[in-house]
Structure 1
Amino acid sequence: MKAILIDDEQHNLDNLRALLAMYCPQVDVCAVALSAEQGKVGLYTYQPDLLFLDIQMPDQDGFAMLRSLAQYDFEIIFVTAYDQYAIQAMRFAAVDYLLKPVDIAELQAAVAKASKQRQLKVQNQQLENLMQLLKTQPSKEEQRLALATTRETRFVKTSEIIRCESSNNYTTFFLVDGDALLVCKPIYEYEEILRDYSFIRCHQSHLVNTAFIKSWKKEFGDFLLLTNGTEVPISRGKKEVIKKALNL
């Protein structure tokens, strides 16, 4: 895959280029750029398959650069050091990103995913969704989560999620329509995303939408009874957190 790297710091470009050369031989870096404007020239000149894009740049950030493009037909891996809003937005949109300093295993995984998408010629719907999130800046109630299963990427409103249950590095989402979606990501990633949307972690394996809690049952142990009849266990260490969340 032909790739272009855009970052406003030369040492970041040099480091990423060296890592790609050593650990991702399927990537051919055809150009690097120290600004969004230089990067756009490279995009039009080389028509790459893959773009590594820094978010925080002084003249024009990565998101603004993308919005300025008439169209794009390449995979994108965002690179960021600390922008928490950007990380949350990208997680909602299921777009790949790398945190600085770049981890080799995460770099290889992101490149492998981009390569697969390129080979299958799948239009990057996740990126389209991200750009819509950035343009419209929807309210929390309107926010949608991109859940990638083995068969599809399902876009679900946070208000449609009753609960999440983990199994090792997998998370199952139970929805109001009765569907259960198995996603290959650990539950702690979704706990961070859903914290501001009235979800609480009542157990190591369970994350619950408080809107669907019917009662707290205390016979034969502590359980949250949900409106769909499901009983979710409460771990001893989470009792005070739940009491605070439910104003008890």
Structure 2
Amino acid sequence: MKTYIQKGNNSLLTLNHKTSKKVFVDAVVLLEGNINYTIFHLANGKQKLVAHSIKFFEPFLETHGFLRIHRSYMINPNHVKNLNQEEYKVLMNNGREAIISKRKKSIFKNLI
């Protein structure tokens, strides 16, 4: 996986080398995994589908502050709009909801 550093320390993440899909890391709100595919939900409302699992992107995105809250979800804490403590759900700025797994409750407490 290639990353590029632009002026102003905004990192670009190359999602697919063949089609040259690149996004700014700060624009990524949520990653949603489904077996060997990952859907990147961006701040502008667009979605990008990539043929890699979340685990492939996890080491790089953790260095940028992303949190793995479920086996199917990884979030950018900068885009969290609301936390539902009773149902262990996170509402993101783009309107998407992500579930926090029972084993990741400690992360939930850090977000508060």
CA RMSD, Structure 1 to Structure 2 (Å): 2.1
The one-letter code matched in structure 1 to 2:2 is: F
CA contact (8 A) 2:31 2:38 kept: yes
Q: Distance in 2 between matches of 1:163 and 1:206?
A: 7
SS at match of 2:103: helix
The one-letter code matched in structure 2 to 1:92 is: K
Equivalence for 2:16: 148
Offset from partner CA, 1:164-192 (integer Å, 9 cap, x none): 00110111101112111110111011111
Offset from partner CA, 1:42-84 (integer Å, 9 cap, x none): xxxxxxxxxxxxxxxxxxxxxxxxxxxxxxxxxxxxxxxxxxx
The one-letter code matched in structure 2 to 1:145 is: L
Offset from partner CA, 1:187-234 (integer Å, 9 cap, x none): 011111100112101111000011110121134x21001112221100
The one-letter code matched in structure 1 to 2:91 is: L
State the TM-score, normalized to the length of structure 2. Answer: 0.87
Matches within 5 A, 1:69-148: 91-93=1-3, 133=4, 141-148=9-16
Q: Distance in 2 between matches of 1:180 and 1:170?
A: 13
Q: Using CA pairs under 8 Å that are at least 6 residues apart, name the structure with larger relative contact order, 1 or 2.
A: 2
Aligned length: 112
The verdict on how the C-alpha distance between 1:140 and 1:182 changes in structure 2, with shifts beyond 3 A counting, is: farther
Q: Which has more strand, going by share of residues?
A: 2
Structure 2 residue 66 is the aligned partner of structure 1 residue 202: no
Superposition deviation, residue 144 in structure 1: 0.4
Equivalence for 2:105: 239
User: Structure 2 regions of 5+ residues with no counterpart?
Assistant: none
The one-letter code matched in structure 2 to 1:229 is: G
User: Structure 1 regions of 5+ residues with no counterpart?
Assistant: 1-90, 94-132
SS at match of 2:61: helix
Q: Distance in 1 between matches of 2:98 and 2:17?
A: 24
The verdict on how the C-alpha distance between 1:188 and 1:143 changes in structure 2, with shifts beyond 3 A counting, is: same
Offset from partner CA, 1:81-101 (integer Å, 9 cap, x none): xxxxxxxxxx134xxxxxxxx
SS at match of 1:190: helix
The one-letter code matched in structure 1 to 2:11 is: Q
Moved segments of 4+, more than 3 Å: 137-141
Identity %, equivalent residues: 29
State the TM-score, normalized to the length of structure 1. Answer: 0.42
- In our comparison, the structure showing a higher alpha carbon Rg is 1
Q: Distance in 2 between matches of 1:195 and 1:205?
A: 15
Q: Which has more helix, going by share of residues?
A: 1
CA contact (8 A) 2:45 2:94 kept: no
Superposition deviation, residue 153 in structure 1: 2.1
Matches within 5 A, 1:156-175: 156-175=23-42
